[in-house]
Amino acid sequence: MIEIEQLTKRFGTFTAVDGLSLNVAAGEAFGLLGPNGAGKSTTIKMLVTLLPSSLGTARIAGFDITRDRTQVQRSIGYVPQALSVDSTLSGYENLLLVTKLYDIPRRRRSLRIQEALEYVGLEEFAHRLVRTYSGGMVRRLEIAQGLLHHPQVLFLDEPTVGLDPIARKAMWDLVQQLRADYGTTVFLTTHFMEEADVLCDRLAIMHRGRIVGEGTKSELKASINRPNATLDDVFIHYTGDELTQAGDYRDISKTRRTAQRLG
């Protein structure tokens, strides 16, 4: 479903993503882990065609991210880390706007919106302004936006940043239900190890733009030769445990802004 070969992104002399190669099977939940600044969000932005690659290739549902941008966009849903809803509109109005962007026929729009709202549990709040929503409700609305056109692949970039534990658990349940109901392929980035443990079938650990570890959770835990290893142990083993590995000022500021908006 997702085929990536030597995908690279350079900004001037800085290489943000360096020769990334991965394969994700249809129906799989794949997690891309790494500290802030590792290149996770840049990777997703290339895969969803928001950012051109410098080198390498990737195919989503059989479509090339460079040559077949429109087909890729119609095959995927995307929930970015930054907020993607208009707080001055109602939940229904936000979804209506998305149906128009995806050229969903007018006669089908109302039903698609109603189905999406019911699926994420927001039907009672459809006509309330989004600025009155909690952080968890906003994230559910963004999931609904990503599902309106029935995508084969759903990309989630740090989907629970800024959410409290209850809202985070509700988001995990929603993603698991989506996979069970529709067989949707999920590609997510996170730096929450518990989230990766709950949601993902396989994982890759990214550090300084490169994949430094890949496999199932059991394989990664076994790879560090430590009894009773946890994913936290695996993460530290592959990325280091120094404070300098935690991302730069811009990464931290972006994460805090997202948390403040959802809080």
Give the model confidence (pLDDT) of 193-212 as tens digits. 999 999 999 999 999 999 99
* DSSP result, the chain: -EEEEEEEEEETTEEEEEEEEEEE-TT-EEEEE--TTSSHHHHHHHHTTSS--SEEEEEETTEETTT-HHHHHHHEEEE-SS--S-TTSBHHHHHHHHHHHTT--HHHHHHHHHHHHHHTT-GGGTTSBGGGS-HHHHHHHHHHHHHTT--SEEEEESTTTT--HHHHHHHHHHHHHHHHHH--EEEEEES-HHHHHHH-SEEEEEETTEEEEEEEHHHHHHHTT-TT--HHHHHHHHH-SSGGGS--HHHHHHHHHHHHHH-
**If pLDDT is split at 50, 70 and 90, which confidence band does 244 have?**
very low
Residues of the domain holding 30: 2-262
Over residues 7-20, the mean pLDDT reads: 97
Give the model confidence (pLDDT) of 76-107 as tens digits. 999 998 889 999 999 999 999 999 999 999 99
Q: Which CATH number covers residue 174?
A: 3.40.50.300
Residue 249 has pLDDT above 50, yes or no: no
The count of structural domains within the chain is 1
